[in-house]
Amino acid sequence: MDADGLFLYGPLREGGAQHAWLKRTGFEGLCGAWTAGRLFHLAELGSPALVPGPIPEALPPGPGWVFGDFVGYDDDAALEAAVENLDALEGVAEERTERRLLPVLLEGGQVYKAWAWVHPEERLPRLEREALELKSGDWKDYL
């Protein structure tokens, strides 16, 4: 597996409604991290939607950055199991989201690769019309 861990920006984050599930996956640790993109709130689902984007010129925080948790795993098997379960939870087979390997910038300045469940760029026009864009890039702050 090419990923160093997971990038989570919704209810699986620490303090989120689904974080208890994440705790059972055997991760090594987590910390705050940023990835390039735009973040929306889907009111009808009560969940966020990340659309990946180009890396902004300015470092985060700021426009074009989304904040979440980087979740690291020492055990590749535990990471693979978490990914398989999250694919099902996030509706990858139904094409509700897709899993992508994204670069993430940790709060300490390190850059890692993480799996994230995102909305493809072609959904951006619909999200701009029907969802609320979270300019702060942090869904937890919005809640």
Report the top-level CATH class of 5-57+64-134: alpha beta
pLDDT tens digits for range 14-72: 999 999 999 999 999 999 999 999 999 999 999 999 999 999 999 999 999 999 999 99
Token pair belonging to 137: 């890039």
- The mean of the pLDDT values for the chain is 96
Give residues with Cβ within 8 angstroms of 3, minimum separation 6.
Answer: 79, 83, 101, 113, 114, 115
Task: Tell which residue, 51, 115, 52, has the closest CA to residue 83.
Answer: 115
pLDDT, residue 32, reads 97
Of 76, 13, 72, nearest in space to 48 by CA: 13
Domain ranges of the chain: 5-57+64-134
**DSSP code at position 3:** -
Mean pLDDT, residues 119-135: 96
User: Up-side HSE of residue 88: CA atoms within 13 Å toward CB?
Assistant: 5
